[in-house]
Structure 1
Amino acid sequence: MQGLSIEKYIGQYDDLSGEWRVWETTGNPVAISFHVESSPSNQKPWLGTILVKAEERRRGIASAIMDYLSNEFKLNGQNALFAAVPIDEYEWSNFLTDCGFEQFKTEENKGEIYLIMVRPLD
C-alpha cells in the first residue's frame, strides 16, 4: 500500500459488489477486510483484502477472521474461499498460507502475474 492513500486503496474495490468489515477486539478496531460472496469469475467467495493494525499483527487476528468468514461461507453452501496476490509478493502468499490457503494456479491480468490461492472449507 506504499504510496497509495487509504481512499485510493479502498476505491480500487468500488466496482465490486462486496462487503467491507471492521473487526474489533475488546471494543477496539484492529482490522478491516473486504470480500465478495460470489465473484464474477467463478461465482465463489473471494477475499479482496485484509489489513491488521501493525501493533496487532502476529496475534492470530487474521486467522480468526479467515475462520469466521470461512464458516460463514460454508454455512451458505460454499466449499472454498479464494484470494489472489501478485506473484512476486512472497510475504503476502506466506501470510495466506499461514491462514490456511493453498496455492492453486497462476493467472495473468493486465500484464501482471497473480498467484491464485484457495482455502478449502471442510
Structure 2
Amino acid sequence: MNTTAKKGHGTVYLSQKRLAFDTESQPQTPTKVADDPLWDTHPENPLPILIRAHNNKSSKRSGTDRDIIPRTSLSTVVQPDQLDAFFVQYAEVCKAGMSGLKKRDRRGKKDRKKKKKGAVETKG
C-alpha cells in the first residue's frame, strides 16, 4: 500500500465485515422478530470487525510506464471496544488521501456540447 502512495497512482480496495469465529460454541443470536427487519444487526455481544485492504495486481499496459505489481493484502481485526478509536483514525487517513486528488477536467465535455448545440441550431 505504501508503494501505491509513493507512485502517486493506483487503487486501494477496502472491505469490512463482522467477524464470527466459531458459530457452534457461541450462543445463538436473538431469534427473528416480525416487527424488526434488522434483527440480526443487534447481537447480544458485540462482534469484532475484520478490515481488509488490498491493491489490485497490475499488468504492463502498452503505452504506459507502469510496471507489473504483485497483489499486496493486509487485514486486521478490530475489537468492539476499539471501534470508535479505529474509525477516528480511519477518517483521518481517508481525508489525508483525498487531499492529493485532482479535480476532474470536464472542459472537453462542455466544448463538445457547445459544438453539438451550435451544429443543431444552424441546421434549423
TM over 0.5: no
TM-score, normalised relative to structure 1: 0.24
TM-score, normalised relative to structure 2: 0.24
Report which of the two has the higher share of strand.
1
Q: Give the structure with higher Rg (CA).
A: 2
Give the structure, 1 or 2, with the largest relative contact order (CA under 8 Å, sep 6 or more): 2
Report which of the two has the higher share of helix.
2
